[in-house]
Chains A and B, each alone.
Chain A
Amino acid sequence: MKQEDKLKILLPSLRGKERYIAFRVLSDERIIYSDLEAAIWNVLLDFYGEHGVSKLSMWLIKNLYDEQNQIGVIRCNNKAVAAVIAGLGLIARLGDTRVVFKILSVSGTIRGLK
């Protein structure tokens, strides 16, 4: 990306406050990232709608997904934590595999999750 295409980073006081939610997927079979991502987006879009999801500033962080232990991290804004967690509870299946989500921790930084 050229230097002129990049936006200047906002001041910390102007940026939205973020929260990171760490969760574990309990299931009998292994869950791959793409299935998980699709299921989370689908359930949140179904439950809150496009306008509702736009307010969550939700993002599933790909490089933090641990496929071995099935631990993932979702980033959202600080006012949307309950909405995102409630949405995760509505995922009953990933493909044919039945799943249960366990919330491990919620933190303001990725380092704080550990």
Chain B
Amino acid sequence: MQFFDLHVHSAFSEGESTVEQLASMAKELGYTGICFSEYYKSEEQVKKLYREIEKVKQKVRIEVFLGFEARSPKELQILREKRRRFDVLLVRGSDLRMNREAVETPEVDILTHPEFGRQDSGLNHVMMKLAKKNNVAIELNFRNILLESKNSRSKLLAKIQNNIKLAKKFKTPIILCSGAVSHFEMRDPQIMISMASQLGLDIKEAKDSLSKIPEKILKQAVERKNDSWILPGVKVVK
């Protein structure tokens, strides 16, 4: 089974580790591919990051993808316009307005930690239905669980379990990501699957969240880069 981690930050944005350190750790842990989900800066810096990724791809021999995480509606608008130039579009959740905008936007692939820093779980049945309709995966972020402790962790786990319950009811895709900002925050695929199974997913669903769902997102990314692609499900046939 192929596993992918689609939410990792390198030193390009808020991360502590280099692209090479993260890619090497992903390879060591048994991932097939990794996606660097960075914050958008200037075109020039993005080109520099592309060059670095290409180098690491050759050296570490692992599939490497590039994604961007929008932190505000303005950033989301900029990234939507440049959508075909990168693989994965993530939206940083927690703010209710951003959560809503993410699930309403078909270009978005992943809504990251919608429950982060909130009293509630950040999503309701209306937003779950929209996420399903627009094929936006809801992220289960391992780093948030790792960094919290005692009562704050138990509250976070309760919110995640609530989101999982709703996602299962409305068949919204759930994706497992490490959300790592350091290569020491990455986790073995079996650990991620086991944690998801403790939070309410069954083993098959947990495996799909780390394998089939990211694979589907990356397949769409490849199709999107093709010249004949127009919209999801619409392409020029010669």
Contact = CB atoms under 8 A, between A and B. Distances in A.
A90 B148 CA distance: 10
Interface of chain A, helix or strand or loop or mixed? Answer: mixed
A102 interface: yes
Contacts, number: 54
Nearest to B183: A100
Interface of chain B, helix or strand or loop or mixed? Answer: helix
> Max chain B CB contacts within 10 Å: which of A46, A86, A90?
A86
A83 B186 CA distance: 19
Interface residues on A, range: 10 to 19
Nearest to B149: A46
Interface string A81-114: 1110110111010000011111100000000000
Given A46-B149, A89-B142, A92-B146, A101 B194 contact: no
B40 to A, nearest CB: 29
B216 interface: no
Contacts of B29: 100, 102
A83 B188 contact: no
Interface residues of B, number: 25
B28 interface: yes
B25 interface: yes
11 contacts: A26-B25, A82-B203, A86-B195, A89-B146, A89-B188, A90-B146, A100-B184, A100-B188, A101-B187, A101-B191, A103-B190
The 7 tightest CB contacts between A and B, nearest first, are A89-B191, A85-B194, A98-B184, A86-B194, A82-B194, A86-B195, A103-B190
Interface of B: 25, 28-30, 142, 145-146, 149-150, 182-188, 190-195, 197-198, 203
